[in-house]
């Protein structure tokens, strides 16, 4: 399912910049995958994770969720990342980006200054965003249950997941918070 998201890093001051992610970008899929990638693939190195997921693939991702396996993609899989068509026999073996492989799309930068300036991050389009910070993963959504309040379509935080937590985060809860007008507590 196409659920559009961003994988990002913080900018100096408030906000983030990052890359587009096309498929299944909601918390129970992409959020959970990013948390597992941090631990299982990038060995708790948020800078290495941001380098590969945000900086090395300037046109963004079709998907980096490993669909045909219970485990996440490994570092060597990311070295072979590239776009493949569905009918390619190797489809799904590697992460699918838009800059390598069968696509050579141009760099696309999403820069978020929400709520002060909701241009540059396309909040109507980018439903979920994940910011890789030194302390944890910040999840934001642009869904809003009360668009009449004039608050629709800006990115707002719904969860902050400490990298060091011992248990699997409750990503369903992050998804449910998209239906709340106010999220008082970002812990999951």
Question: Which stretches of the chain bind Zn ion, using CB under 5 A?
Answer: 57, 97, 99-100, 112, 114, 121, 123, 155
The overall longest dimension of the chain from CA atoms, in Å, is: 49
Least Å distance, CB 107 to Zn ion, is 10
Shorter beta-carbon distance to Zn ion: residue 29 or 100? 100
Q: Which residue has the tokens 């060091």?
A: 164
What's the token pair of residue 19?
A: 């890359």
Shorter beta-carbon distance to Zn ion: residue 95 or 136? 95
**Using CA of residue 53, residue 56, residue 59, residue 63, what is the dihedral sign?**
negative
The 8-class DSSP code of residue 70 comes to S
Shorter beta-carbon distance to Zn ion: residue 29 or 57? 57
Kindly give the pairing relationship between strand 2-10 and strand 128-132: parallel
From the CB of residue 7, how many other CB atoms can be counted at a distance below 10 Å? 27
Shorter beta-carbon distance to Zn ion: residue 53 or 121? 121
Least Å distance, CB 57 to Zn ion, is 4
What's the token pair of residue 168?
A: 């699997």
Shorter beta-carbon distance to Zn ion: residue 54 or 161? 54
Closest CA to 92 of 106, 102, 77: 77
Q: CA 137 from chain center: how many Å?
A: 10
Shorter beta-carbon distance to Zn ion: residue 29 or 155? 155
């Amino acid at each position: 399912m196409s659920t559009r998201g961003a994988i990002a890093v913080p900018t100096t001051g408030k906000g983030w910049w990052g890359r587009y992610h096309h498929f299944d970008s909601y918390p129970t899929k992409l959020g959970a995958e990013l948390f597992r990638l941090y631990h299982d693939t990038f060995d708790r190195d948020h800078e290495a994770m941001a380098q590969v997921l945000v900086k090395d693939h300037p046109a963004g991702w079709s998907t980096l969720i490993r669909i045909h396996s219970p485990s996440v993609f490994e570092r060597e899989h990311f070295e072979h990342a590239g776009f493949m068509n569905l009918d390619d026999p190797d489809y799904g073996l590697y992460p699918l980006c838009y800059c390598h492989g069968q696509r050579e799309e141009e760099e696309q930068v999403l820069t978020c200054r929400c709520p002060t300036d909701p241009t540059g991050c396309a909040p109507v389009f980018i439903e979920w965003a994940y910011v890789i910070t030194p302390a944890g993963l910040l999840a934001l959504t642009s869904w809003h249950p009360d668009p009449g309040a004039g608050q629709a379509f800006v990115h707002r935080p719904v969860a902050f997941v400490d990298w060091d937590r011992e248990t699997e985060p409750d990503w369903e809860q992050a998804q449910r918070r998209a239906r709340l007008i106010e999220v008082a507590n970002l812990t999951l």
